[in-house]
Structure 1
Amino acid sequence: MADWVAILNFLSRWALFAAVTYKAYQTKDKGWALLSIAFFIDALNIENYILTPLGIKIPDCVYPLASKISDFYIGLLLPWGAAHLKNGKTTFRHVIYLGTIVVVSYVWLFLLAINAFGDNFAVNSSVPSLVLGGAMIYAGYVLWSNVVSTRLWDRLFPTGLILVGALNLTYPVGRPIEWYSTMAFFLAALGRLSSAVGALFFVFYPIKEPEYSAKVKTRLIPGAYIFSSMEKAIKKLGKDIVSSCVAVVRMDPEKAASAFHGDSVVFWVTKAKDGIIREEHPRIIAIEPQKLGILQDLISKELEKGYKRVYVDALEYLKNEMDFNTAMKFLLAVKDIAISHGGTMILVANLNAFDEKERKLLIKEFGEGGL
């Protein structure tokens, strides 16, 4: 392998670690923290071409076993962090999956320690490569679907991870083949470089709010507004409120797909489904009303990407499914998050569905100029 390929691979690992670590510091998010740990281990992976330039030599007698430990560590941390970024927490199902990785890792390392497979390189490397490759592909998929924007530079982040993950799946069979391993190392270097470049752009050059159309007479001032209908909100604030926004709605996905435009992210509050409903823009994600804490975290993550408008029309439903105080606590938290990001929150609600005390509180927090 050419020296420059090894150097490129080495530097791109550290660049990726630096970008993700800064993101973890910036957001104080557990998901990013877990990813930063994984990328640190990856940057100091027990591979000769990484450690030799640093003057570090792993004894040949322990190298076959030691080189697999980091694969399992990364294979555990990447899906763990990705699950936090996607859901805001890890569920019992995630614990089962991650626990399975831990058990499989221990059993496989035990088998390697007793030399159960002899010098069979393909078998010795099969499970570690499967765990590592699968973890990278899953993390890349989550970043692509739930985290990074559609901007080309940002997309390089998950694309590079998926490429490197796919190459790792071929490692047990391809590594002994000289021409293939040379090509694979080169492609892995390109994959890591693209991932590092994408991460740097995503973290240090986030997407900016699109300029308001010249046709919009009213420029939105950071704050909160309440309206009795979407039509009234658009009439007073302009069509931009439903373009490139974060929406929490009760309308069905088909109607939401036509109502919101641009790079909008729509959270459909429903008990019927859970998860991604529509991949193309506007992206639509179903979430249960009982998961308001997770929804709040997801909205916060979208605002961190550069969105400036939050549109909510699910208050009546949340009141019926939960209670008014719980729904109001959620609204106020989202309002504070939006304003802290220099954004605007638009609440659409029928005040006739609330008692006098509730109406007064809504008007106090969101004004009455749009009613």
Structure 2
Amino acid sequence: MHEIAQGFWYAGHFLLVLAIFVTLYMFYLSTKETHKTERHLIMIALLAIFIDILSELSLSAGITTTALYFLSIAGEFIGALIILLVLFKVRRGKIEIEFKPLPPNNRVEASITPGLLLLKADETNGQLVCRFSKGRQSLIISRKNEDYWRALGCEAPVIWLSKVENVRNVINPRNLEYLAHITVQLMNGKGEKFVFIDGLEYLIIENSFDRVFRLLTTLKDYALLHNTMVMVEFEPETLSKKELALLLREFPIFKKET
């Protein structure tokens, strides 16, 4: 009976370690092109846990040596320690935006048009964005940091497009899936919503035009469904003729009031 119980313990322990290894490997794949420091740490953790798995298999097969016991314990300890460190580092750089309900009888300064509209780059765009964001649930995704927008008087949450790590409310420009997730999270709220995105050229350089174009079409569809206006700033001279033609065919240009 003791041997059977011990066998079940080894099997359960092995399956648990294997599950941690697979989960960690999936997390490693999901951080492709982002969180480079964390990826290196995860590789070390994967190696440590892999050594632990091999040691467990050897021990369960009846090969019992002091070295195997040491490798098993060391693999688990090092792997667990690195996992905690990685989680701490990722937590420090996470998005911490909370879309709070607006007060009743909240006044807006400009009416919106649901969908995605292009906005030609201009020095006065900041003031326009502040006017549209006032009085409604809004989000600014920008190459300019939060201090810039606060200086203009914008109160909307700001996500900074940057490769800087371990900074609050920063999204790596290559993590388009997470950027879409955060944006759709706002759109799912009640009432009118407004989203402003600049740095289109930066996103294209870091990814590709095709990937960014697919992102914009997805946001457009969600915006139409959820009463949201997405405004994307662009500079026509930085795009090829084909790229510009595709954008203009899919998205209208926002015309400022004169």
TM range (shorter): 0.5 to 0.7
Give the superposition deviation at 1:69. 1.1
Closer/same/farther in 2, CA of residues 343 and 302 from structure 1, 3 Å limit: same
1:112 to 48, 59, 62: 59
Q: What is the CA–CA distance in structure 1 between the aligned matches of 2:204 and 2:30, rounded to whole Å? A: 27
2:101 to 210, 214, 235: 210
Closer/same/farther in 2, CA of residues 328 and 222 from structure 1, 3 Å limit: same
Between the aligned residues of both structures, percent identity stands at 12
Closer/same/farther in 2, CA of residues 66 and 227 from structure 1, 3 Å limit: same
The TM-score, its normalising length taken from structure 2, stands at 0.63
**Higher helix proportion:** 1
Q: Deviations over 1:247-282 (max 9, x none)?
A: 1x34467646756655432223xxxxx353622xxx
Give the superposition deviation at 1:346. 1.0
Give the superposition deviation at 1:313. 1.8
Closer/same/farther in 2, CA of residues 245 and 127 from structure 1, 3 Å limit: same
Closer/same/farther in 2, CA of residues 117 and 222 from structure 1, 3 Å limit: farther
Partner of 2:196: 311
SS at match of 2:256: coil
The amino acid that maps onto 1:127 is G
Partner of 1:135: 83
Matched, 1:299 2:179: yes
1:233 to 128, 140, 145: 128
Gaps (5+ residues) in structure 1?
1-56, 152-207, 269-273
Matches within 5 A, 1:147-186: 149=96
Partner of 1:332: 217
Matched, 1:344 2:229: yes
SS at match of 1:146: coil
Give the superposition deviation at 1:301. 1.9
Aligned residues of 2:17 and 2:53 also touching (Cα < 8 A): no
Closer/same/farther in 2, CA of residues 235 and 363 from structure 1, 3 Å limit: farther
Of structures 1 and 2, the one with the larger relative CO (CA 8 A, separation 6+) is: 2
Aligned residues of 2:160 and 2:171 also touching (Cα < 8 A): yes
CA RMSD in angstroms, aligned pairs only: 4.7
Matches within 5 A, 1:51-200: 59-83=4-28, 96-97=43-44, 100-101=47-48, 103-113=50-60, 114-117=63-66, 125-132=73-80, 134-135=82-83, 138-139=86-87, 142=90, 145-146=93-94, 149=96
Q: What is the CA–CA distance in structure 2 between the aligned matches of 1:320 and 1:145, rounded to whole Å? A: 23
Aligned residues of 1:246 and 1:310 also touching (Cα < 8 A): yes
SS at match of 2:94: helix
Partner of 1:46: none
Closer/same/farther in 2, CA of residues 338 and 263 from structure 1, 3 Å limit: same
The TM-score, its normalising length taken from structure 1, stands at 0.47
Give the superposition deviation at 1:317. 4.7
Closer/same/farther in 2, CA of residues 256 and 129 from structure 1, 3 Å limit: farther
Give the superposition deviation at 1:365. 0.9
Closer/same/farther in 2, CA of residues 362 and 78 from structure 1, 3 Å limit: same
How many residues in Structure 1 have an aligned counterpart in Structure 2? 241
